[in-house]
Amino acid sequence: MLSRTTDTCETRVAIECYVMAAIVNAREVYTDQKWLIWADHWIAGRDRSFASAKMAHQIARRACDRESVEMADSEQDGSENQQALPGSTETAAEMAAWAAGLAMVTAPVVPDLTATFRRLKFALRSSFRSLRSTESTRSLRPSLAGRAVALARRAASTMSSSQVPQTARP
């Protein structure tokens, strides 16, 4: 954990750049769709929460475990490891786990309220768009209840006051 004396704006920016580089490098070789979606959201700044980074780390660690089992099986068969990156001893899943682990360590444990507000704003905009689209269809084709009310008003306007029954007496 960083001490307060080294926790400056420059340090945070440098750490964020380091995490960003790790995610971008892992993104180039790792193919799991859920992890790639998390990486895109982290890079865009939409979701940098601890929970999402932990989920991405778990996805990559499970892939690492599968790769290690496959490597052990291939060593027993005598075949060569095909999943290692050229010039690197790390596999794609190990790079993804490392990047997600860095993001998890640097992520705030406290929920990001601005992300919550952005999600609410998106949800409200989406619902308002759907309301506008349904209002435009309503104006083209009025509902049965609206037509009944319009017919009742038209009938009431054509009737004289003597034809209207008096239900309430003053």
Q: Hunting for tokens 């052990």 — which residue is that?
A: 72
Q: What percent of the chain has pLDDT over 90?
A: 23
pLDDT surpassing 90 at residue 35: yes
Q: Hunting for tokens 């960003």 — which residue is that?
A: 20
- pLDDT tens-digit readout, 88-124: 577 889 999 999 988 888 887 766 667 777 778 888 8
d(CA 1, CA 10): 16
Q: How confident is the model at residue 14 (pLDDT cuts 50, 70, 90)?
A: confident
pLDDT of residue 1: 46
d(CA 70, CA 64): 10
Task: Please report, for residues 50, 99, 100, 130, 155, the alpha-carbon distance to residue 47 in angstroms, rounded to integers and kept in the order given.
Answer: 9, 15, 13, 25, 59
pTM of the model: 0.55
Which residue(s) pair with 91 in the sheet? 84
- DSSP-based three-state secondary structure for 133: helix
pLDDT of residue 91: 86
Q: How confident is the model at residue 24 (pLDDT cuts 50, 70, 90)?
A: very high
Using an 8 Å Cβ cutoff, are 124 and 59 in contact? no
- DSSP-based three-state secondary structure for 142: coil
pLDDT of residue 88: 55
Pairwise pLDDT comparison (32 vs 128), residue with the higher score: 32
Position 166, amino acid: Q
- pLDDT tens-digit readout, 118-158: 778 888 888 887 776 655 555 555 566 667 777 777 776 67
Using an 8 Å Cβ cutoff, are 91 and 83 in contact? yes
Using an 8 Å Cβ cutoff, are 92 and 36 in contact? no
